[in-house]
Chains A and B, each alone.
Chain A
């Protein structure tokens, strides 16, 4: 797959942080903020197939990865992407509301990143394996994670909302960038398996691949850079999918890098592709190309999906302290869902029937999400001692027994230690 670096540029996007509040809301002088002087970055070509108005532009190099869109049932393919984008935006909004209502401890919204996630996730095969950060709810949705399982971690009842092996996707990683190495190692496992005759081979339908999702902030982490080195050295079948959403909490991408993030790949010997992350078709095409390269022995690819986190970092964040309303408005013009809608409309595919169907699907999933969330019970107290080790461990066993004795001294001890505090409260009534 040829690198698209240097190819024609369409729709250059503004760098985050280049337009700032002149005074900060906390009254601190602007001068204490990191300087953005000299932040002008060289222009690098960006793959874009749907422009901001939803107009489709032919691009033979990338269109060849979208042959299913040449078929008679292309609308069906496009509508699947559209429905997923609408549904995950609704899941995201519902989860944000659930946090505001005290049902979730925290939620990291994906608003604005639907195309980057849905487009890339639709490129995956079932035997691929995803290692993500904590914002890839849409990827998890496409992998088959039940919506309510997305919430469990954020409700604070578990460290992991699903079994990674059920959907071939690891559960959210909170340590920034740590998962890129796990993806790299998993890819080494794929190669080792292929050597042993396990699974498909590179010269047949292609091996499985690992995909690491991470953000612009993670590009500064040592682990991510180490993952690039290891993967390049060993030609591991891994795709590094960086969603550059412009902001790492309050830090603009210009604080992470003096060069476009995608340009980092070259120094590691990894081809880089910069794609308009709000263009679902372009993301789908470049991810398919990168996966094909990985599967057939070509090694890793760095994809930089240029997008925007329209919401806060998490529900605990206040973006008005560090970025302007104008910047947000500028990116709303590039809204990924609206863009696909415009394209579908131009094809005559967005019928009233379709709109009603998609709305009904989103409504149904949102209602299920809410009901499922509030029905999640707190786990029993002594479950904290479970699974610390896979095999018996005398220290944990002793401490469990000691804590059980302590809990046993309370009047509602039985319910507390066996059925969980939610049931205990019920029993106490």
Chain B
């Protein structure tokens, strides 16, 4: 057991995958000599050489297209997109090529590409550095989409993503990069929680609080605050956004009767909408209140001095739980978070 930051845990996972599988290559902007702007790939080029850890020209579509060609040749590329807002120029290669190649070729061509994307806000960054674009990728058949919320998952899931024969978009909550946690590097991958499985991180009885990535920690904090208020919230870390482990959430909601979904990304057609709709379909007769979404607003990500109004915090989560419990004053009924 070692204590690692989330960033170091990803680094350790990458190093292990590269050590165990010579077909794993890592590529992206500034990832070699610099070790990445967040140092996630620190030391890998020195250890594995410039042929396996490639500093690329500044062209994200080019990076993805290159990864596709290398995967065609039998490699397992791990691509770093430097910031969430930079992925859109690679969108065609991801959506039209990476996602569809396996179906297009009826399984003849596998593209086991891992696309690492630092995600989310709350770090006081410039424009295009704080976005939550997960819904675009969840909406794209052929991609798997995962997020990590703690160093142990960061370490394990990056290896699972690389080992997976499907392309995986791996979101790294940059606000949590420097948070430390215990990482057991001795657990065999086969014995860890499967990549697609959600996990209950705080058991509870009154309300099911579903979230992922950066906001798992905030939701846990909220559950503590709520318990002081006599409310027992069950916090579920979705971990995988495609597929979504709906059954894990449904099992919880059948007990609690109330659902609050929390994420940073905009609400419209977001992951929260998918969870709320599916749970309503599956658990309608168990629901005691309409599902509540606590999310980013449907606005362009605001400038840093205003971002606290966009990213849900503990108080907004508690407010969402209050609404699910029907504890909002009558005068405020119908006012959304």
- Decide yes or no whether A196 CB sits under 8 A from chain B: yes
* A227 surroundings in chain B (CB, below 8 A): 62, 65
Would B242 and A196 count as touching, CB distance under 8 A? no
Contacts A160-B108, A189-B74, A395-B242: A389 and B66 contacting too (C-beta < 8 A)? no
Interface string of A150-172 (1 = CB under 8 A from B): 00000000111001110000110
* B68 surroundings in chain A (CB, below 8 A): 181-182, 185
Smallest Cβ-Cβ distance to A165: which chain B residue: B108
**Dominant SS among interface residues on chain A:** helix
- Decide yes or no whether B86 CB sits under 8 A from chain A: no
Interface residues on chain B, number (Cβ under 8 Å): 50
Residue in contact with A389 in the complex, picked from B73, B97, B166, B245, CB distance below 8 Å? B166
Q: Which of A176-225 contact B (CB under 8 A)?
A: 178, 180-193, 195-196, 210, 222-223
* A190 surroundings in chain B (CB, below 8 A): 73
Smallest Cβ-Cβ distance to A229: which chain B residue: B57
Smallest Cβ-Cβ distance to B164: which chain A residue: A391
* B244 surroundings in chain A (CB, below 8 A): 395
* B74 surroundings in chain A (CB, below 8 A): 189
Contacts A189-B73, A387-B107: A181 and B65 contacting too (C-beta < 8 A)? yes
Smallest Cβ-Cβ distance to B244: which chain A residue: A395
- Decide yes or no whether B252 CB sits under 8 A from chain A: no
A186-B102 Cα distance, complex, nearest whole Å: 17
Would A394 and B243 count as touching, CB distance under 8 A? yes
A222-B70 Cα distance, complex, nearest whole Å: 20
Q: How far is the CB of A157 from chain B (nearest CB, A)?
A: 11
Would B69 and A182 count as touching, CB distance under 8 A? yes
Would B110 and A159 count as touching, CB distance under 8 A? no
* A183 surroundings in chain B (CB, below 8 A): 69
- Decide yes or no whether A233 CB sits under 8 A from chain B: yes
A394-B68 Cα distance, complex, nearest whole Å: 25
* B104 surroundings in chain A (CB, below 8 A): 159-160, 171
Interface string of A380-412 (1 = CB under 8 A from B): 000000111111011110000000000000000
Smallest Cβ-Cβ distance to A199: which chain B residue: B73
Interface string of B299-329 (1 = CB under 8 A from A): 0000000000000000000000000000000
* A396 surroundings in chain B (CB, below 8 A): 141, 243
* A158 surroundings in chain B (CB, below 8 A): 106
Smallest Cβ-Cβ distance to B240: which chain A residue: A394
Would B106 and A189 count as touching, CB distance under 8 A? no
Would A389 and B144 count as touching, CB distance under 8 A? yes
A18-B292 Cα distance, complex, nearest whole Å: 63
- Decide yes or no whether A134 CB sits under 8 A from chain B: no
A226-B63 Cα distance, complex, nearest whole Å: 9
Q: How far is the CB of B9 from chain A (nearest CB, A)?
A: 24
A102-B74 Cα distance, complex, nearest whole Å: 39
Contacts A196-B22, A222-B61, A395-B243: A129 and B97 contacting too (C-beta < 8 A)? no
* A395 surroundings in chain B (CB, below 8 A): 242-244
Q: Which of B60-119 contact A (CB under 8 A)?
A: 61-62, 64-75, 89, 92-93, 96-97, 100, 102-110, 112
Known pairs A175-B92, A210-B69; list 5 more (Cβ under 8 Å): A181-B93, A186-B72, A193-B73, A390-B107, A391-B166
Listed in ascending order, the chain B residues whose CB lies under 8 Å from chain A are 22, 25, 51-52, 54, 56-57, 59, 61-62, 64-75, 89, 92-93, 96-97, 100, 102-110, 112, 141-142, 144, 164-166, 196, 242-246
18 pairs, A vs B, C-beta closer than 8 Å? A163-B105, A171-B104, A175-B97, A185-B67, A186-B73, A187-B69, A189-B72, A192-B25, A192-B75, A222-B89, A226-B62, A229-B57, A229-B62, A230-B59, A387-B102, A388-B102, A389-B144, A391-B166
